[in-house]
């Protein structure tokens, strides 16, 4: 009789066990990142499952449904810092510093951008880029040995990085332009398919007149990502003062270039000194493509936001709010708060402005090193390692007329 009672208890316990998929997809995805990292130590199965891209994306979407800017990633030489805010009401700064040990030889890396918790670093030569998750410490170095056959020091390289949700693919755009010549090359790397593809000027990728060497002259900053599209502010050399400057866009899903006519670009100060306002760089404010410029005579900063309706909204920052030497700007949490990197009296500074409160006031946050780079960041468990695809998927990709 006692034995029967024991069997019944074991049967009851057995019925109470939850399916593993239910635990991972409906319970663990709701836990904070630190807790999930600890659960990876339970077993090899748990480690493999919680390290998968599927789990990483599910966890990220649950915690960041609209991918807000929760923190900044600050790069100073080989050191990286997280700057996060505990709340929107009170600006409490929490700074976490760490170093990354990635062997890149003599290559000089630039911070291309961040997306879904992944950080992209690209070399100035164009020969390699790195995808890295600072939370899990996983990274992968992607080399392109073929580029050394075509490009030397006489080429300028700019990058772009983004994610296409429909195809579940991260894409890296590389634009290489001859500094003194007339040639340029455009390549797109698909992380999902693990290969580069050159974008040629054909009927399906017509950028005739858009990607001339004149318009590529000023492409020294990485592309600005808004939704599935990267944007660059093109420029013209001094001998083409009358040429129109353009904002160029690259749709990552369709892999096509175009111009962006709704946001006109004025001539930079270094080329024409009598312009009323000069545009200096593109940025993202309130989740929209924006540009930062300044008035030549009074030094006021001008933030122009392109709303979804196609209308523009201008915010003029007086010189006493922010120095005219503003070098970067990042919108925070999709709200009216913006981070601004500017030059103070002696060294670069990072400050915050809340555009929703008047009068506008710059709140200093911290001092930066001379070569510091900043980017918005939202932590995730997404792996930078390539996910395997089937041969049928690869065949469908090659046969797709849109690619």
pLDDT tens, residue by residue, 339-351:
889 887 678 888 8
Angle at 79 between CA 112 and CA 34, to 5 degrees: 90
Domain coordinates in residue numbering, the chain: 58-377
* CATH code reported for the domain at 58-377: 2.120.10.30
pLDDT at 211 (0 to 100): 54
What is the C-alpha to C-alpha distance for residues 207 and 217, in angstroms, rounded to an integer? 16
Report the candidate in 269, 263, 267, 268 with the shortest Cα–Cα distance to residue 249. Answer: 263
Predicted structure pTM score: 0.81
- At which residue do the structure tokens 């009851």 appear? 12
User: Could you identify the residue written with the tokens 């040639």?
Assistant: 183
Is residue 212 packed enough to be buried (19+ CB in 10 Å), middle (13-18) or exposed (0-12)?
middle
pLDDT, one tens digit per residue, over 43-72 is 888 888 888 878 887 887 776 655 455 688
Residue 315 and residue 305 in contact, taking contact as beta carbons nearer than 8 Å: yes
**309-327 pLDDT, tens digit each:** 677 888 888 877 776 678 8
Q: What pLDDT is recorded for position 7? A: 53
Burial class (CB in 10 A: 0-12, 13-18, 19+), 276: exposed
Measured CA angle at 146 (ends 144, 152), to 5 deg: 100
């Amino acid at each position: 009789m006692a034995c029967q009672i024991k069997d019944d208890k074991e049967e009851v316990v057995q019925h109470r066990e939850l399916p593993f998929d239910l635990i991972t997809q409906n319970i663990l995805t709701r836990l904070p990142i630190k807790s999930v990292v600890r659960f990876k130590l339970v077993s090899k199965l748990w480690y493999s499952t919680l390290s998968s891209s599927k789990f990483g994306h599910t966890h990220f979407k649950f915690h960041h449904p609209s991918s807000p800017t929760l923190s900044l990633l600050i790069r100073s030489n080989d050191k990286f810092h997280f700057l996060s805010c505990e709340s929107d009401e009170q600006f409490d700064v929490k700074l976490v510093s760490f170093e990354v040990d990635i062997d890149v030889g003599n290559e000089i890396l630039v911070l291309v951008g961040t997306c879904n918790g992944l950080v992209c670093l690209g070399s100035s030569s164009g020969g390699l880029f790195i995808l890295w998750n600072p939370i899990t410490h996983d990274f992968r170095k992607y080399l392109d040995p073929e580029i050394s056959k075509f490009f030397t020091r006489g080429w300028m390289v700019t990058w772009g990085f983004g994610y296409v949700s429909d195809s579940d693919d991260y894409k890296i755009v590389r634009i290489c332009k001859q500094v003194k010549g007339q040639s340029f090359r455009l390549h797109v790397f698909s992380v999902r398919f693990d290969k580069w593809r050159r974008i040629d000027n054909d009927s399906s990728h017509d950028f005739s007149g858009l990607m001339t060497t004149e318009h590529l002259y000023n492409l020294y900053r990485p592309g600005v990502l808004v939704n599935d599209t990267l944007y660059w502010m093109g420029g013209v050399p001094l001998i083409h003062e009358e040429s129109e400057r353009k904002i160029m866009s690259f749709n990552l899903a369709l892999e096509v270039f175009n111009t962006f006519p709704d946001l006109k670009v004025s001539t930079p100060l270094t080329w024409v000194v009598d312009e009323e306002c000069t545009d200096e760089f593109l940025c993202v404010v309130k989740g929209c493509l924006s540009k930062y410029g300044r008035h030549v005579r009074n030094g006021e900063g001008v933030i122009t936001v392109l709303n979804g309706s196609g209308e523009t909204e201008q915010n003029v920052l007086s010189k006493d709010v922010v120095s005219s030497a503003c070098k970067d700007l990042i919108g925070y949490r999709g709200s009216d708060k913006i981070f601004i990197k500017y030059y103070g009296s002696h060294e670069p500074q990072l400050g915050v402005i809340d555009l929703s409160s008047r009068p506008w006031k710059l709140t200093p946050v911290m001092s930066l090193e001379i070569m510091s780079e900043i980017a918005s960041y939202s932590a995730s468990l997404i792996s930078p390692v390539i996910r395997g695809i089937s041969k049928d998927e690869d065949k469908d990709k090659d046969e797709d007329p849109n690619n």
